[in-house]
Structure 1
Amino acid sequence: MPTCPSGSFAYTIKAGDTFWKLAKTYNTTVAAIQAANPGVNPNKLQIGQVICIPGSNTPPAKPCPAGSRSYTIKAGDTFWKLAKTYNTTVAAIQAANPGVNPNKLQIGQVICIPVGK
């Protein structure tokens, strides 16, 4: 695992990742990712490979729709626990977060929580 320079973070490659996609997700550039990873061939990324990405490991938050608020996942969070905490349902949280796998929540991930129901 590489020791990432200050101002960057370690990222584990997942299926479908490219430097271009990661640059867009983390608000950086392909050139900056390449500079932080000398010797890494961007055309031969492997699932499980760890690289360094300049910037913050929290992607810019997408605004939540009206009637919901953004929430940053903390250790131990589950949709069930959040539903109880915010007086909503697991189904409502799932509906507000299409594409989010409730079984693979990551610390620092930003989701939307329905409120005022």
Structure 2
Amino acid sequence: MPPTTCPAGTTAYTIRAGDTFYAIARAHNISLDALLAANPGVDPDRLFIGQIICIPRPTPPPAPVCPTLRVGSRGGAVRQLQQLLKDAGFDPGPIDGIFGSRTQAAVIAFQASKGLTQDGIVGIRTWTALGVDCTTPPPTTCPSGTTAYTIRSGDTFYNLAIRYNTTVEAIRRANPSVNPDNLIVGQIICIPVS
């Protein structure tokens, strides 16, 4: 059954002669999996001219998942680092997105506790020890009608749906490229808001 309206983060596309999901995905710079996930009721082997499908907006090139951070670094990755350090029992000072001397001291103490090189520089090994999967691409910005949420230990789509008064299906639609059975601490997903 073709969609009547496309969800946030996607645009409607009308099938033309010769279209295939593979060709559409390539032409719009998206993965075939993302296109399939955005069109769960559409049989890609039975497309017809005039049929409307939903195309996810292409994602910008990914920024580093685990950027190297040191004294002087600023921004969201530093805030994430500070929260992870705090959650692990190390005091980075205020969670303000500024990598200062207190954050550096917390990083060094954390590195010592994990047997890592105690240089106060956060690279892939330190991120990994903090529980971040450095192979996962970062999320895109969340579309209107949703808000960004950083996955914490124990989170599931089900408990997030309850906490944010939405449904598991709505969270799935807002995150077509996220595997709900493989959520990763530090991963950012989009939660629908009412």
Q: Normalising by structure 2, report the TM-score.
A: 0.33
Unaligned 5+ residue runs, structure 1? 12-49, 51-56
- SS of 1:111's partner is strand
Is residue 106 from structure 1 mapped to residue 184 from structure 2 by the alignment?
yes
| Alpha-carbon separation, structure 1, partners of 2:183 and 2:144 | 23
- CA RMSD, 1 decimal: 2.7
Cα offset, 1:62, TM superposition: 1.9
Identity in percent: 51
Contact map agreement 2:145 2:193 (CA 8 A) in 1:
yes
Match 2:157 to one of 64, 79, 88: 79
Question: 1:1-117 counterparts in 2 under 5 A?
Answer: 3=116, 6-10=121-125, 61-116=139-194
Q: Which amino acid aligns with 1:107?
A: V
The structure richer in strand per residue is 1
| Alpha-carbon separation, structure 1, partners of 2:184 and 2:138 | 15
How has the CA–CA distance of structure 1 residues 68 and 106 changed in structure 2, closer, same or farther, with 3 Å as cutoff? same
Cα offset, 1:86, TM superposition: 0.2
Cα offset, 1:59, TM superposition: 5.9
| Alpha-carbon separation, structure 2, partners of 1:60 and 1:98 | 14
- CA deviations over 1:30-54 (Å, ceiling 9, x no partner): xxxxxxxxxxxxxxxxxxxx9xxxx
- SS of 2:181's partner is helix
- SS of 1:82's partner is helix
- SS of 1:113's partner is strand
Of structures 1 and 2, the one with the larger relative CO (CA 8 A, separation 6+) is 1
Cα offset, 1:61, TM superposition: 4.5
| Alpha-carbon separation, structure 1, partners of 2:171 and 2:161 | 7
Contact map agreement 2:149 2:188 (CA 8 A) in 1:
yes
Larger radius of gyration: 2
Cα offset, 1:60, TM superposition: 5.2
Q: Which amino acid aligns with 2:156?
A: T
Cα offset, 1:7, TM superposition: 2.4
Q: Normalising by structure 1, report the TM-score.
A: 0.52
